[in-house]
């Protein structure tokens, strides 16, 4: 069996990568004649909308898009289609250019067939204007709005089309709000919220659909404060879920905002977006030739069942149903799906894992398999090198910006680095290779110290202790970082997931002598790491590659000694 373990390990890593990046964990685009949500049908709306630039600086083209959307809503059978016009709005200054414009929001209502006197509504929101001029390192460009926000508008139209098939079962209704002038400081939504609050009076729940790039999975990246019941709905209904509560925390520190930002403190809801690739975001590359039908399908897979559950379940007739005090901690792991915890339960789970780790660590020490001093030194070394990886990652980002003539932003969103994804992937692969080589060199040195002994078991034991000291050193660091973040920020999954899977696998391995537990932990940690670090890198861009590199390094320092334990011939 030992001779097959390297092959098994390699296959496990490859399959985990494919699963994490959505080969089998996200839906493919459905054809035009599909009965359910079809990205191929949604694409037809995007093709019309994205023929021309239609920003606030293009009033005639924007008016043409508006007329098209009015016709589409009327074709769907809206009870009413209303226009809300706001004159002489002034947008924020952009490179000394200030746009003054009129904004026109479109509101369509679809009421339940057997409605109560005052039904609640699902409000679905997307903006129909494209990005105005965007200065780039070598030119100033204009977006065609194919993804941002053609994805949002087309997804909503297709979702409403699907919902109308079971309209006789509706207990709640649908409002569709296509806002104008979102790209110039959410001016359309701000005007509606300030002047026409009646639009929102009977709204119990809102879904906002955005796009920050044309590719990749559709991420539920933001919810309202007190999201406990909102996340219960998402967990119950959404197919192919993809979300991290940590993204809401991170998003609050970022300079980007959406229409949902204006109302989220008062209107419970969800905010969806793609996050790949920033160089196509707000530029002329956001055009019809670069759209991804598969990404659109992923929006539908999540939003359509959520909308159906809301529309057909009587419990949501109460407009205050979703208003709650508590937030949840949630994350997705490909294959395993969505994990959604109340904060109390999440703390309990953390404490259980912390206690298991301390128990495992104590037992290993008592049995002489660990050297506390070496574990402590290993923890300090991992922390120190991790900080060095953070600095090195930012240096790589700076050099990439220098080569491309882009503006470097420390831990900020950077445009204009055309090979950013390649640079991050290559750097991470090289880092992994260096870690493996340095680990093997250190293990060889540890084994050589036993060379005076003629017993093969002595060398094996030295290798085992080396692996154990390195692994427990990293897990001990994960333990400390997890505890600190848990009781300060309430979010610690980047450290807690490797700690939890690693600890449980080690305990089961010691109890059963089966190395399959180590392989399972490797697979699960990889599923989480591939997916989460990918989302983090795409959201923060190469400007924050230092943070991604540091977190990847910590994961490698769990995976490499665990893989060594799985591959080695020595016993437990």
83 strand-pairing partners:
106
Q: Tell me, yes or no, whether 15 lies in a domain.
A: yes
Domain end, chosen from 298, 333, 368, is at: 333
pLDDT of residue 547: 95
Question: Which of 466, 446, 459 has its CA nearest to residue 378?
Answer: 466
Q: Compute the average pLDDT of residues 326-350.
A: 95
418 assigned to some structural domain: yes
The pTM of the full predicted model, rounded to 2 decimals, is 0.92
Same domain, 321 and 350: no
Inside any domain, residue 394: yes
CA atoms in the 13 A half-sphere facing the CB of 23: 9
Give yes or no for a contact between 317 and 327, defined as CB atoms under 8 angstroms apart: no
Per the structure, the complete domain to which residue 406 belongs is given by: 2-19+343-567
User: Are 550 and 397 in contact, with CB atoms under 8 Å apart?
Assistant: no
Residue 454 has pLDDT above 50, yes or no: no
286 shares its domain with 433: no
- Boundary of a domain, candidates 333, 361, 383: 333
Residue 572 placed within a domain: no
Alpha-carbon distance of 393 to 550, in angstroms, equals 8
pLDDT for the residue numbered 128: 98
126 contact partners, CB below 8 Å, separation of at least 6 = 149, 152, 153, 155, 156, 178, 179, 208, 209, 210
Residue carrying the six token digits 């391995």? 509
Which of 333, 357, 376 terminates a domain? The answer is 333
Sheet containing 173-179: order of strands: 80-90, 100-110, 173-179, 121-127, 203-209, 269-273, 219-223
The verdict on 423 and 561 lying in the same domain is: yes
Decide which of 513 and 249 is more confident. Answer: 513
If one compares 114 and 331, the residue with the highest pLDDT of the two is: 331
Residue 338 lies in a domain: no
Left if phi > 0, otherwise alpha if psi is -120 to 50, otherwise beta: which for 218?
Answer: beta
The verdict on 318 and 349 lying in the same domain is no
Tokens describing residue 83: 């226009």
Q: What is the CATH number of the domain that holds 152?
A: 3.40.630.10
Mean pLDDT within 519-539: 94
If asked whether residues 380 and 397 sit together in one domain, one would say yes
Contact yes or no for 435/557 (Cβ under 8 A): yes
Q: How confident is the model over 435-462, as a mean pLDDT?
A: 78
Distance of CA 201 to the CA centre of its chain: 31
Same domain, 529 and 427: yes
pLDDT in tens, 462-512: 888 899 999 999 999 999 999 999 999 889 999 999 999 999 999 999 999
Per residue in 165-223, pLDDT tens? 999 999 999 999 999 999 999 999 999 999 999 999 999 999 999 999 999 999 999 99
Looking at the fold, whether 261 and 382 belong to one and the same domain comes out as no
Give the CA distances from residue 345 to residues 218, 328, 339, in Å, rounded to whole numbers and listed in that order: 27, 9, 12
Q: Are residues 280 and 370 in the same domain?
A: no
Co-location of 88 and 167 in the same domain = yes
pLDDT at 114 exceeding the cut of 90: no
Please provide the size of the chain in residues.
572
Residues 325 and 350 reside in one and the same domain: no
Residue 93 in any domain: the answer is: yes
Residues 77 and 150 in one domain: yes
Pairing of strands 80-90, 328-333: unpaired
Residues 425 and 322 in one domain: no
Supply the pLDDT for residue 457. Answer: 66
Judge whether 273 lies within some domain: yes
Q: How many domains does the chain have?
A: 2
Residue 419 lies in a domain: yes
For the chain, state the CA radius of gyration. 26
For every residue of 421-449, DSSP letters joined together read HHHHHHHHHHHHHHHHHHHHHHHHHHHHT
């Amino acid at each position: 069996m030992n001779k097959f373990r390297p092959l098994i390990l390699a296959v496990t890593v490859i399959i985990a990568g494919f699963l994490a990046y959505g080969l089998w964990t996200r839906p493919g685009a459905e054809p035009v004649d599909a009965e359910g949500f079809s990205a191929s049908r949604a694409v037809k709306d995007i093709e019309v909308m994205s023929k021309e630039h239609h920003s606030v600086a293009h009033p005639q083209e924007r008016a043409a898009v508006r007329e098209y959307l009015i016709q589409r809503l009327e074709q769907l059978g809206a009870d009413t289609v209303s226009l809300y016009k706001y004159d002489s709005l002034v947008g924020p200054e952009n490179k000394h250019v200030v746009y003054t414009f009129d904004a026109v929001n479109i509101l369509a209502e679809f009421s339940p067939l057997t409605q109560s006197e005052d039904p609640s509504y699902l409000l679905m929101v997307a903006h129909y204007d494209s990005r105005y001029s965007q200065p780039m390192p070598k030119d100033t460009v204009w977006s065609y709005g194919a993804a941002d926000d053609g994805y949002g508008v087309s997804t909503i139209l297709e979702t409403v089309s699907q919902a109308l098939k079971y309209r006789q079962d509706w207990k709640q209704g649908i409002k569709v709000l296509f806002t104008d002038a979102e790209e110039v400081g959410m001016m359309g939504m701000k005007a509606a919220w300030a002047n026409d609050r009646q639009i929102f009076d009977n709204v119990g729940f809102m879904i906002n659909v955005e796009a920050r790039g044309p590719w990749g999975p559709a991420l539920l990246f933001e919810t309202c404060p007190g999201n406990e019941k909102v996340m219960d709905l998402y967990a119950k209904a959404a197919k192919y879920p993809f979300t991290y509560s940590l993204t809401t925390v991170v998003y609050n520190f970022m300079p980007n905002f959406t229409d949902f930002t204006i109302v989220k403190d008062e209107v419970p809801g969800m905010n969806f977006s793609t996050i790949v690739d920033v160089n196509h975001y707000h530029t002329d590359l956001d055009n019809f030739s670069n759209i991804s039908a598969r990404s659109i399908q992923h929006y539908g897979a999540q939003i359509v069942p959520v909308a159906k559950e809301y529309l057909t379940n009587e419990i949501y007739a109460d407009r205050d149903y979703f208003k709650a005090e508590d937030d949840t901690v949630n994350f997705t792991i490909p294959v395993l799906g969505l994990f959604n915890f109340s904060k109390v339960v999440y703390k309990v789970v953390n404490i259980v894992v912390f206690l298991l780790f301390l128990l495992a660590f104590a037992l290993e020490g008592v049995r002489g398999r660990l050297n506390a001093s070496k574990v402590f030194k290993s923890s300090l070394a991992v922390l120190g090198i991790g900080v060095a990886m953070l600095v090195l990652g930012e240096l790589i980002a700076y050099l990439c910006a220098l080569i491309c003539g882009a503006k470097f932003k420390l831990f900020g969103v950077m445009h204009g680095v055309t090979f950013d994804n390649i640079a991050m992937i290559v750097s991470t692969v090289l880092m992994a290779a260096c870690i493996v080589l340095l680990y093997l060199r250190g293990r060889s040195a540890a084994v050589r110290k036993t060379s005076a002994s003629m017993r093969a078991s002595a060398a094996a034991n030295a290798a085992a202790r080396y692996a154990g000291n390195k692994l427990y050193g990293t897990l001990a660091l994960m333990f400390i970082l997890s505890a600190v973040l848990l009781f300060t920020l309430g979010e610690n999954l980047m450290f807690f997931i490797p700690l939890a899977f690693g600890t449980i696998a080690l305990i089961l391995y010691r109890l059963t002598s089966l190395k399959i537990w180590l392989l399972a932990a490797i697979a699960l940690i990889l599923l989480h790491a591939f997916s989460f670090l990918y989302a983090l890198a795409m959201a923060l861009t190469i400007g924050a590659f230092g943070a991604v590199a540091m977190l990847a390094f910590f994961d490698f320092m769990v995976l490499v000694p665990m893989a060594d334990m799985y591959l080695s011939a020595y016993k437990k």
